[in-house]
Amino acid sequence: MFQFFKSPFYNFEFIRVLGSSTAQGAEIGECLEAAFSMKAESPGEWFRVWHEMALRVKSLAEKAETMGDYEGARLAFLRCSNYFRASEFFLHTTPQDPRLLDCIEQSVAHFRKAWTFGDHNVETLDIPYVNDTKLPGYLYTPRSVSGSISKPPVIILQSGFDNTQEELYFYLVAGALSRGYAVVTFEGPGQGIVLRRENLHLRPDWENVTGRVLDSLYSTKANHLDLSKTAVAGASMGAYFALRSAVDPRIQACIAIDGFYDLYEVTTSRIPWWFVNLWQAGALPDNIFNNTVALIQRMNFQSDWEINHAMWTFGVESAAAAVREMQRYSLRESDGEEYLSRIRCPVFVTGAADTLYFPPKDNAVKIFANLGQLSAMQKELWIAEGATDGGFQAKIGATGLLHQRVFGWLGKHL
């Protein structure tokens, strides 16, 4: 298959942006110009081309607004928001870089600006969390042709390891709205603007985070939504969060797109087994582990990015601490019991054969197998192969097919 970049990591992230054109998160021509004007596959060049494109499209949006073309302004502000998000992505190897917060703040501001044009049902949420902290969210509600709607069913769409909730609009929200679903997105600890501004870090017991979202909906939005029909969905780490959240009896269906079963096992499977065993046994101290990982990071940018991003989101100071923290992100409980056995609602599980991250055999297939308490009618497994059929991680590049499969399944179970 044609590769825009030599690096599979850069190529995947480019397709991630390009694929959002399905929901008007990008223009193909703008993406191609950004790609082919990049002088090197480096974080600095990636930032430069996408940041320049974001500013250029922002100018188009402002011009459209001045001319009274409010739909043109809305669409350009949406693309501008997505390009600002993309621009800072590879800078996560240095979390102290001020551009990380600045770009996401601009992404959020221009995304919200887009929805001020026209009659669109998008509402910002401040979801009570802990210690007076509020989690930012959006509530999207669909419009019928006649302009009046009955209470719509609800999808709570999880953010994951490295996305923002604004990006989720292009990923799944747009497709849900056109099919009559309301969607709630939010950013929890360790995600998006909450990580960058509040310095809150990820937690493995995500059911307690989604529980706060549900509490807020039940207390303030019950008259707008059919909360008796609430589904939870997520991709990659967001799929793990969705599965954790699906034990809540207020959830009636769960969609887990290309997630992991045990993050520690995924990560250590990429490290020589003997090295991991010696470290686990205490025969290798953390400083040896850290120095060895640092050597790998110098040789492989993807590994460098993943370790630094993990340290940032987990709030730890070393590679050893980050990998040790991953032990907590598992669907196998500490007593050996299966967390998944607690789920009672229907579940749709997907895997990606061409993934960079979570091979289906040890993740999607394992998740599905551990849903033994559900009947064959209550669960479904889809393993995709090839870019056309959704074989890339999170079904990137196959958004239309993803929507068809997800909403086709959800229509039968919600």
Residue tagged active-site, from 21, 159, 236, 245: 236
Q: Give dist(CA 58, CA 248) in Å, integer.
A: 41
Task: For Cα atoms 305, 306, 311, give the angle at the middle one, nearest 5 degrees.
Answer: 100
List Cα–Cα distances, 301 to 9, 96, 284, in angstroms.
9, 18, 25
Task: Decide the pairing of beta strands 154-157 and 347-352.
Answer: unpaired
Q: Give dist(CA 323, CA 314) in Å, integer.
A: 10
Nearest to 48 by CA among 38, 59, 36, 61: 38
CB of 161 closer than 8 Å to CB of 313: yes
Q: Give dist(CA 257, CA 394) in Å, integer.
A: 6
SS in 3 state form for 265-280? HHHHCCCCHHHHHHHH
> Tokens 């910002």 correspond to what residue?
124
Other Cβ atoms less than 10 A from the Cβ of 158: the count is 35
Sign of the four-CA dihedral 256, 409, 215, 106: positive
Q: Is 219 an active-site residue?
A: no
Percentage helix, strand, coil, to 5, in the chain? 50, 10, 35
| Catalytic site positions | 236
